[in-house]
Chains A and B, each alone.
Chain A
């Protein structure tokens, strides 16, 4: 628990590495969390759930394909004329 306290203090000073922050994320998504740390569970939980936000890939894909097909047609008609 000492180690987690230290990591948390470093975290709030923005002195932790990505690896140390992953350690915190793993600790806070586990079930063995000290009472004094419970207040920070939702914070780390938010980081994990926020990463599940996805873009609309299908509409992006079709927009790109449309743009790319008209451009290729351009090249062909260009060289024919």
Chain B
């Protein structure tokens, strides 16, 4: 009995403390959720993915202790998990993207909010890699090196994709503006 109780203590001491683990994961969960939501384009699927990842990481928590940059490693794992989910969806029938179905109820919204919604839609319509990169940079404020690690790309490739994404959004904003001015002119 004595040896049993020491072996319990031994096991528990060598596992990462659940509280410590949970604090780490919960601090990152909003960022993980936003990444998953941007990739999967669906709130519930994103929430499920964050939960699935957290549980997988808990199973492998001993490995996590060897990781140098836990936030970057966790983001990278989140992206890889989402890529797997997207691949599975393509094999079966594709899940409808939530964003495509959401129609803004114009009457209740101010003009400013309409434009913000439009820009969000522009970002959501970018190819997955550009969408993920522009969000990690412009919303999360991550360094290029960190984004390169998360996406397994070179820093140069990240910058190229980032600039393409920003240029596309710029073109759309400018042409949208022209369109607004033209319709005002006609009135």
Contacts and interface: CB of A to CB of B under 8 A. Distances in A.
Given A14-B166, A40-B173, A64 B30 contact: no
| B contact residues, range | 35 or more
A18 B120 contact: no
B14 to A, nearest CB: 11
B39 interface: no
A45 B54 contact: no
Given A55-B29, A60-B50, A13 B18 contact: no
Contacts of B58: 64, 67-68
Interface string B6-37: 01100110000010011001100110111001
Contact of A21 (B4, B33, B138, B167): B138
Interface string B160-181: 1011001101100110010000
B47 A18 contact: no
Contacts of B137: 21
A64 B33 contact: no
Contact of A75 (B8, B25, B118, B135): B8
Nearest to B32: A55
A72 B119 CA distance: 47
18 contacts: A15-B159, A18-B141, A21-B137, A43-B173, A45-B116, A50-B34, A50-B135, A50-B139, A55-B46, A59-B51, A60-B51, A61-B26, A63-B54, A64-B21, A64-B58, A72-B12, A75-B12, A76-B8
Interface of B: 4-5, 7-8, 11-12, 18, 21-22, 25-26, 29-30, 32-34, 37, 46-47, 50-51, 54-55, 58, 112, 115-116, 118-120, 123, 135, 137-141, 143, 159-160, 162-163, 166-167, 169-170, 173-174, 177
